[in-house]
Amino acid sequence: MSRQAPLNCSGHTRPVVDLSFSDITSDGSFIISACKDGKPMLRQGETGDWVGTFEGHKGAVWGATLNREATRAGTGAADFTAKIWNAVTGDELHTFTHKHIVKAVDFTRESDFFLTGCNDKKIRIFDLGKPDADPNILSGHESSIKTVIHCTNDSLLYSASDDHCIRVWDVRQLCEVRKLTTGASVADIQLSKSGKILLAAHGKTVSFWDTQNFLELNKVNFDTKIFSVSMHPHDDCFVAGGEDFKLYKYDYETLIEKESYKGHFGPIHCVRFSPDGELYASGSEDGTLRLWQTNVGKAYGLWRAADEAR
């Protein structure tokens, strides 16, 4: 096997705590990173090349997301605000004031609504067609919300919290329809690209649920706390990272560890596969964003094929 040589995307000055990819556009995919330095950054998804910095928050940025087309960016921060940005020009479009730190953000599939999860234990749904209107609010969590994600069928959203559970909400009826108990604080959740599998990192465990019946499909236990997990677009493998500075790659069908790499110099707070599955990105306490090849030695982006590198 060729040696993994990650791309180091410098620029942040404090811990990188969240990241998100767009879909593949006519200009490729893009990635946004949230950092405690208060300056979320936009990069080209295949190479990590810097595109721009969104400046306007007055505190640590905890959550960052892009819409599918990479035309809009959303951020949530410790300054009690969430912001919508024009991802092409970098202009700030809307600011939504909250009553506490905003930890999680997401767009609905058509970018017509914007979701936020807050330390006041509430989820807010903003209508971007009426940005000055009061948001719809979902209440039920008993602790601060860490992650909120919208389901592609436009009727459900998922939220994770320090209250040891994942809640499933009907956004049309504005009510909770399911609660999945984990037994530990949930650091991260993600839906597979197929929408069939819900992944969660909680304590030293990664769990998987069937989104049709919400039965637990499987789980993997680690020797360290896991802070983030991501499924490959083909649902054939997943990556996870956490407290021990390492990234783990597992085969999903067999749950056998395929690879592990220690490239960061601090705990890993976030990890996500690119939309084409050729790489995954990780953000760390060490202040860096790194890009890793899914198939080491393959020519892709700034990586040359193993034969060409000799």
Return the higher-pLDDT residue of 205 and 301: 205
Q: Using an 8 Å Cβ cutoff, are 136 and 172 in contact?
A: no
List, for residues 220-250, the tens digit of each pLDDT value: 999 999 999 999 999 999 999 999 999 999 9
Q: Is the pLDDT of residue 254 over 50?
A: yes
pLDDT at position 307 is 43
- Residue 206 falls inside a structural domain: yes
- Residue 300 falls inside a structural domain: yes
- Confidence tier at 309 by pLDDT (50, 70, 90): very low
Q: Using an 8 Å Cβ cutoff, are 221 and 204 in contact?
A: yes
* Dihedral over alpha carbons 193, 266, 46, 196 (to 10 degrees): 0
State how many domains the chain has: 1
Show Cβ contacts of residue 156 under 8 Å, excluding neighbours closer than 6 positions.
150, 168, 169, 170, 171, 177
- Residue 277 falls inside a structural domain: yes
Confidence (pTM): 0.94
pLDDT at position 138 is 95
- Residue 241 falls inside a structural domain: yes
- Residue 1 falls inside a structural domain: no
pLDDT at position 310 is 39
Chain mean pLDDT for the chain: 94
Domain span including residue 72: 7-309
CB atoms within 10 A of CB 249: 18
Return the higher-pLDDT residue of 308 and 99: 99
Q: Quickly tell me which residue has 């009061």 as its tokens.
A: 134
pLDDT at position 305 is 57
Interatomic CA distance for residues 310 and 295, integer angstroms: 17
- Residue 218 falls inside a structural domain: yes
List, for residues 193-214, the tens digit of each pLDDT value: 999 999 999 999 999 999 999 9
- Which residue, 119, 286, 104, 108, is CA-closest to 189? 104
- Confidence tier at 2 by pLDDT (50, 70, 90): low
Return the higher-pLDDT residue of 253 and 309: 253
Six-digit token string for 45: 């998804």
List, for residues 47-67, the tens digit of each pLDDT value: 999 999 999 999 999 999 999
What 82-89 contacts at long range (C-beta under 8 Å, 24+ apart), as own/partner pairs, is 82/114, 82/116, 82/126, 83/54, 83/56, 83/57, 84/114, 84/128, 84/131, 85/54, 87/30, 87/32, 87/42
Interatomic CA distance for residues 125 and 116, integer angstroms: 7
List, for residues 139-183, the tens digit of each pLDDT value: 999 999 999 999 876 689 999 999 999 999 998 899 999 999 998
- Residue 202 falls inside a structural domain: yes
- Residue 267 falls inside a structural domain: yes
Q: Using an 8 Å Cβ cutoff, are 233 and 239 in contact?
A: no
Return the higher-pLDDT residue of 104 and 2: 104
Domain at 52, CATH number: 2.130.10.10
| CA separation, residue 157 to residues 39, 147, 167, 256 (Å) | 27, 11, 8, 30
